[in-house]
Structure formats: structure tokens, C-alpha cells
């Protein structure tokens, strides 16, 4: 046993031991994977100190906490390990996808100071506008054809809302990291996203610290929902054509003003990850611009 410890010490001295700490930190900052970084902490006391200074962390949960109760222990352990990295500035957490790929939808949670709105947008199909032969006068026929496809979207939206609430709860924990500047919580399929960047991380922390647990719970349990259906939606910028577009908007704020104004002001100003996400965002803008009369509030 003593020989093993001696060998490890010699290896550390002959490799990283001669490097300045800032150089070692630059190397470790390239690793980003939480599990790998936690293993690096076990190398030596010096490594433990240096690894704790990394600024970027990424990790993926292999199971989904909401549907796999048996793994809640490891889930909590991962969060506990994450909270030991007090210098992390950028954090990306990823969950497995739990919907089949043939479902088309995107969702996100917008923030002002606190969680402001949940947006779920789902088309039945997406195609290139140039390749489509759809007659705009046949919207009634399209609506009838798409009726069956849109029936289960309310159920999908509810499941995504549960997912969103779990991620918001997680966000309330990780924003306690003192140096955090950017956090993204998404899934492997990039279907849904909860994210904060810049000063909004501090704003959320200020809101949490100024409120009691009862006030926070009440603020996320009081909401109203609006919905909208657009049979045919042309996207002039991306060149796509969406058919059978269903939109759900859940708002936690108590403002009774214009819905689109509330959504726009609470946008996160995130850069688009890809063309697909940009197209969904454009679809949302087009609905607000040209089909706002179709948005109706649901009675709960």
C-alpha cells in the first residue's frame, strides 16, 4: 500500500508537479465533464485545490429523475458534487429525452426577475416553403386533417411543463454558485430549455433571497394558460412552412396586459443554438405579429 502511494506521488511530481498551477488549471478547464473532474480531485491534495477552481462544467444525467425514482440518490449526489465547484462560471446540464423523435415541438421558460412564462410550440409538420404546394385557401381542410394529430399535444405540453418545473427547481439550487454567469439546462434532443445568462442570474438570486419559501411556492403555483392554433404558418426568414401549429403559453405573472408584450420583455436574449431553434422562434414571432387574434385564454 505504501509503495502504491509512493508511486502515485512520484508520478504526480514527474508530470504535473513541475507545472505552475495556472497551467494545470488551463488543462483541467478543458475537461469540463463533472464526473471526470470529480475523479481528478482524488489524485492529490494539490489537484483537489486546483480542480475546484475550474470555470466550465458540463454533465449529463443517465436517467431522468422524474421517471426513475430509484436513481434519485445519485441525482442528489451529482448536485452535491457540483456545488463544491465554487468558481464555475458556465454550466450546462443535460437530461435524457423521453419523447419519440417523431414528435415535433420546442419549449422554453422565460425569465424576468423570476420565472415568467412557459412556452410550448408544436407543428404537425415542417417543410421547405418552395417545395410545398399547399393552397392558402384550404386552411379549413388542413385544420380538419390535423385535428387528430393535435389531440395529444395538450398531454405532451403537460409532461413538458412538469419537466420545466423540475428544471426550474434545479436552477434555483445551482444559481447559488457564487461565480455563475451562464447556465443552460436542456435535454439530448434539445426539445426544451431553461437558461439564464448575464445579470439575470444575479436577479434570480436576489429574488430568492428576498422571498420566503412560501412566497416562492405560491408564485409558481398561480398561473394562467393561453392557447392558439394556426393551420398554416409561413416563415419568411427561414423559408419553412409549418402546418398545424399549436401554441400554449403559461404565465406565472399576475399582469393582465398584452400577452405578446409580456413574452417579448421576458425573453432571455439567448443566441440560437441551430437553425431549427431559430425557426421555432421565428414561428412564435409570426404568430404574435399575424395571428394574435387566435390566442385565447383557457378557463382553469
pLDDT of the residue at 287: 94
List the grid coordinates of 127: 417543410
Going by pLDDT thresholds of 50, 70 and 90, the confidence category of residue 145 is low
**pLDDT of 67 above 60:** no
Contact 94, 186 (CB under 8 A): yes
The structure's pTM equals 0.78
Residues 6+ apart with CB under 8 A from 94: 58, 59, 60, 61, 185, 186, 187, 188
pLDDT of the residue at 107: 92
CA distances from 63 to 37, 83, 177 (A): 20, 20, 24
Share the mean pLDDT of the chain: 77
Work out the average pLDDT over 50-74.
70
Of 257 and 164, which is predicted with more confidence? 164
Could you state, in order of their start, the residue ranges of all structural domains in the chain?
55-297
Q: What contacts 24+ positions apart, CB below 8 Å, involve 13-17? A: 16/47, 17/46
Residue linked to cell 421576458: 266
pLDDT tens for residues 106-142? 999 988 777 888 999 999 888 886 655 555 555 555 5
pLDDT tens for residues 153-163? 888 898 888 88
Query: Beta strands of 188-239 (E only): which ranges?
Result: 192-197, 224-234
Work out the average pLDDT over 34-62.
87
List the grid coordinates of 70: 430509484
Contact 186, 97 (CB under 8 A): no
* Phi and psi at residue 246, to the nearest 5°: -110, 130
pLDDT of the residue at 268: 47
Work out the average pLDDT over 161-188.
88
**pLDDT of 1 above 50:** no
- 294: alpha, beta or left? (left if phi > 0; alpha if psi -120 to 50): alpha
* Phi and psi at residue 43, to the nearest 5°: -65, -50
pLDDT of the residue at 123: 92
**pLDDT of 41 above 50:** yes
Residue linked to cell 408584450: 261
- 190: alpha, beta or left? (left if phi > 0; alpha if psi -120 to 50): left
Return the closest-CA partner of residue 246 out of 121, 129, 147: 121
Counted residue by residue, the chain has a size of 300
pLDDT of the residue at 263: 56
CA distances from 139 to 3, 42, 232 (A): 78, 63, 7
pLDDT of the residue at 272: 47
Return the closest-CA partner of residue 104 out of 242, 1, 232, 248: 242
pLDDT tens for residues 241-288? 998 899 999 987 654 445 555 555 544 445 445 677 888 989 999 999
Amino acid at each position: 500500500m505504501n509503495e502504491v502511494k509512493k508511486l502515485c506521488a512520484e508520478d504526480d511530481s514527474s508530470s504535473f508537479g513541475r507545472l505552475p498551477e495556472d497551467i494545470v488549471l488551463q488543462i483541467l478547464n478543458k475537461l469540463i465533464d463533472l464526473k471526470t473532474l470529480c475523479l481528478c480531485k482524488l489524485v492529490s491534495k494539490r489537484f483537489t485545490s486546483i480542480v475546484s477552481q475550474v470555470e466550465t462544467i458540463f454533465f449529463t444525467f443517465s436517467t431522468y429523475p422524474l421517471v426513475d425514482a430509484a436513481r434519485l440518490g445519485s441525482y442528489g449526489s451529482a448536485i452535491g458534487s457540483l456545488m463544491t465547484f465554487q468558481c464555475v462560471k458556465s454550466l450546462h446540464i443535460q437530461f435524457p429525452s423521453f419523447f419519440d423523435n417523431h414528435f415535433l415541438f420546442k419549449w422554453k421558460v422565460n425569465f424576468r426577475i423570476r420565472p415568467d412564462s412557459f412556452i410550448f410550440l408544436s407543428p404537425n409538420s415542417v417543410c421547405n416553403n418552395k417545395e410545398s404546394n399547399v393552397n392558402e385557401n384550404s386552411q379549413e381542410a388542413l385544420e380538419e386533417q390535423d385535428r387528430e394529430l393535435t389531440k395529444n399535444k395538450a398531454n405532451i405540453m403537460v409532461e413538458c411543463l412538469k419537466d420545466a418545473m423540475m428544471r426550474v427547481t434545479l436552477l434555483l439550487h445551482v444559481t447559488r454558485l457564487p461565480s455563475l454567469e451562464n447556465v443552460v439546462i436542456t435535454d439530448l434532443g434539445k426539445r426544451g430549455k431553461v437558461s439564464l445568462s448575464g445579470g439575470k442570474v444575479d436577479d434570480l438570486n436576489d429574488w430568492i433571497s428576498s422571498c420566503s419559501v412560501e412566497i416562492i411556492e405560491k408564485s409558481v403555483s398561480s398561473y394562467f394558460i393561453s392557447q392558439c392554433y394556426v393551420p398554416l404558418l409561413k416563415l419568411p426568414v427561414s423559408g419553412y412552412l409549418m402546418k398545424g401549429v399549436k401554441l400554449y403559453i403559461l404565465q406565472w405573472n399576475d399582469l393582465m396586459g398584452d400577452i405578446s408584450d409580456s413574452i417579448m420583455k421576458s425573453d432571455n436574449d439567448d443566441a440560437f443554438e441551430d437553425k431549427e431553434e431559430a425557426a421555432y422562434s421565428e414561428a412564435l414571432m409570426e404568430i404574435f405579429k399575424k395571428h394574435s387574434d387566435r390566442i385565447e385564454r383557457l378557463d382553469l
